[in-house]
Amino acid sequence: MSSSNDSRRILITGGAGFIGSHVVRRFVKDSNYYVINLDKLTYAGNLDNLRDIENESNYEFVKGDICDEDLVHQLFKDHDFDGIVHLAAESHVDRSISNPLEFAQTNVIGTLTLLEVAKNNWKEGKNKLFYHISTDEVYGSLDEEGLFTEKTPYDPKSPYSSSKASSDHFVRAYGNTYELPYVISNCSNNYGPNHFPEKLIPLLINNIKKKESLPVYGKGENIRDWLYVEDHAAAIKLIFEKGRSGETYNIGGFNEWKNIDLVEFLCDLMDKKLDNEKGTSRKLITFVKDRAGHDLRYAIDASKLSKELNWRPSVTFEEGLEKTVDWYLENEKWLEDVTSGEYMKYYKEHYSKT
Ligand code: NAD
Ligand code: TYD
């Protein structure tokens, strides 16, 4: 397939994953774009996330590794990309604690490989854009007060956040040293459809369905700021199109929840959806050993994005969570497929939460 002359050709990495699949769909539905999705299909990548758009004429999937410089170079030669939206990463903090080298490889070396190929191919960098999708976890951990702004100094504390911080630094270094046009956004915790059920919200939904225990780390007092994935995807498209080159944008929902409060809220919602007697799911809550080096609180100040680009979340947390629960209840096969086989074996071996 080839792109028409006036469409913008973009490379999206990690497009078969949770956030990436929503981002790919959004760009593919806009006929101004021709999208190449490069994804290695690790345990977190799933082409079922993209079945509805896989035959669109402005979309192509390429299975491959962002660390494979020859492959990335060939893709640049074949498509002469106008931009990259880079999401491919290892993304789960618990996995980074048991396997930090894999995180350095994909998140740091993978990003550096993309930067190097972009630099070498985009000799005339004007009108090109390297967009790195990052996390608020690079800023470290907050006490009870304050919010992360774009000016908060980096202070990553887990192997995952350290690898993302390192890749952010490399992106800025390429901007500063080689004048590579770039933009970075740092987002809070996402939730929604296609979320792999090792992260808190889909793990709880899956376990409640199966009447299995709900592991809450420590005392459940850690705080996260939750954003519906479609709102993140909308922010990403907006920043790609209208964000200023060389800038950083924080994305968040102004929606902080203490873990235990969220767990209880979700239990009650699931009871309603499953026609359970009130309180049934709460009985499954089990306090387990805390995560090593567990960051206490993340909270994002997203006012730059809302002032400059007029972005706002489109749903409340209550609405987003209900949509999410409905999606998981309607997509039992998806959940069965991703929680069977190799993943479950790995999960049970590495994450005994008792
Ligand atoms: P995910 O784990 O669901 O998906 C990652 C995708 O990247 C998968 O499809 C996987 O197959 C692919 N991938 C992994 N290694 C690869 C490699 N070497 N080459 C090519 N593809 C590879 O992750 P997600 O939650 O969708 O996160 C996407 C991005 O957004 C990540 O960069 C993450 O750091 C960032 N982010 C995530 C959150 C969140 O709450 N999930 C919040 C802020 C930022
Ligand atoms: P998670 O979804 O892994 O995202 P992150 O660590 O990137 O914020 O975890 C969200 C919060 O929930 C975090 O404070 C850890 C906690 N948590 C549990 O209490 N139990 C669990 O089984 C998981 C996966 C997370």
pLDDT of residue 340: 87
pLDDT of residue 343: 64
**Ligand 2 pocket member 250 (CB < 6 A):** no
**Ligand 2 pocket member 87 (CB < 6 A):** no
- pLDDT tens across 217-251, in order? 999 999 999 999 999 999 999 999 999 999 999 99
Active site residue 137: yes
What would the two tokens of residue 203 be? 């793990």
pLDDT of residue 126: 79
Report which protein residue has its CA nearest ligand 1's atom 13: 88
Q: In the predicted model, is pLDDT for residue 353 greater than 60?
A: no
Residue 2: pLDDT band with limits 50, 70, 90: very low
- pLDDT tens across 298-346, in order? 999 999 999 999 999 999 999 999 999 999 999 999 999 999 866 666 6
Q: In the predicted model, is pLDDT for residue 288 greater than 60?
A: yes
* 113: CB partners within 8 A, 6+ apart: 66, 67, 68, 69, 72
Rounded to the nearest integer, the mean pLDDT of the chain is 95
Nearest ligand, measured from the Cα of 296: 2
The alpha carbon of 333 and the centre of ligand 2 are apart by a number of angstroms equal to: 24
**Ligand 2 pocket member 299 (CB < 6 A):** no
The alpha carbon of 200 and the centre of ligand 2 are apart by a number of angstroms equal to: 5
Distance CA 257, CA 316 (A): 13
What would the two tokens of residue 53 be? 């758009």
Q: In the predicted model, is pLDDT for residue 152 greater than 70?
A: yes
The mean pLDDT value for 117-121 works out to 97
Domains of the chain in sequence order: 8-190+225-251 (3.40.50.720)
Residue 150: pLDDT band with limits 50, 70, 90: very high
Residue 1: pLDDT band with limits 50, 70, 90: very low
The alpha carbon of 131 and the centre of ligand 2 are apart by a number of angstroms equal to: 26
**Ligand 2 pocket member 93 (CB < 6 A):** yes
What would the two tokens of residue 207 be? 């376990």
pLDDT of residue 4: 53
The mean pLDDT value for 277-299 works out to 97
Q: Are 86 and 130 in contact (CB under 8 A)?
A: yes
**Ligand 2 pocket member 248 (CB < 6 A):** no
Distance CA 37, CA 350 (A): 30
Residue 156: pLDDT band with limits 50, 70, 90: very high
Active site residue 68: no
pLDDT of residue 352: 54
Out of 60, 90, 94, 137, the active site residue is 137
Q: In the predicted model, is pLDDT for residue 354 greater than 60?
A: no
**Ligand 2 pocket member 200 (CB < 6 A):** yes
Active site residue 139: no
Distance CA 339, CA 354 (A): 19
pLDDT of residue 345: 64
Residue 347: pLDDT band with limits 50, 70, 90: low
The alpha carbon of 63 and the centre of ligand 1 are apart by a number of angstroms equal to: 15
Out of 160, 174, 249, 347, the active site residue is 160
Determine the distance from the C-alpha atom of residue 205 to the mean position of all C-alpha atoms in its chain, rounded to a whole number: 19
